[in-house]
Amino acid sequence: MSVNVKFAQGYPDPSTFKQPLAIYRGNPMRVINGSVQLAAGDDAGSVVFLGKIASSAILLPIGLMTHEAIAGLTSGSLGFGSAPGANAANALINAQTFAVAATKNPLLSVAIADLVKRVWQLAGYATDPARELDIVFTCNTAVTGGGFLHFVLPFVDLR
């Protein structure tokens, strides 16, 4: 065991004199915010486009997805549409139930070590495509009774 001193992305490393990237410190927070009503008849595979986000952004782990009990929706996912990653469509929330009223963190399925990654990295790109990506909610099971889904997705970006 040893005592160590480490520096996170938002702190200048005194050994290199390099300043942290602005996205990691003092950058204003932005939010994608809205509600959508899911209805009986929204079959498995139905997709809701929640918003667009710059591929260079970093999602913050302080967001919320609040929903009513949406009957039949025992599996829903949150992720990115039209991204190359094998798990892009469920990169943020992977197959969670929405059949019981609850509040979830929209980064529920993101590993703690990945919370500082850019959106393009979470979506499975090898390099930044320098464009906006769609954030989508996917019904993995059919909705048999409607309900509202409200989302607040905070992020930081240099644009």
Domain boundaries defined on the chain: 29-156
Mean pLDDT across the chain, nearest whole number? 91
* Dihedral in degrees, nearest 10, Cα atoms 115, 117, 120, 121: -100
3-state secondary structure of 112: helix
Can you read off the two tokens belonging to residue 78?
Answer: 């949150």
Question: What per-residue confidence (pLDDT) applies to 159?
Answer: 66
93, 108 Cβ separation under 8 angstroms: yes
Largest CA distance in the chain: 59
Dihedral sign (CA 44, 47, 53, 56): positive
Whole-number Å distance between alpha carbons of 55 and 119:
5
How far apart, in whole angstroms, are the C-alpha atoms of residue 140 and residue 138?
Answer: 6
Residues of the chain with pLDDT under 70: 159
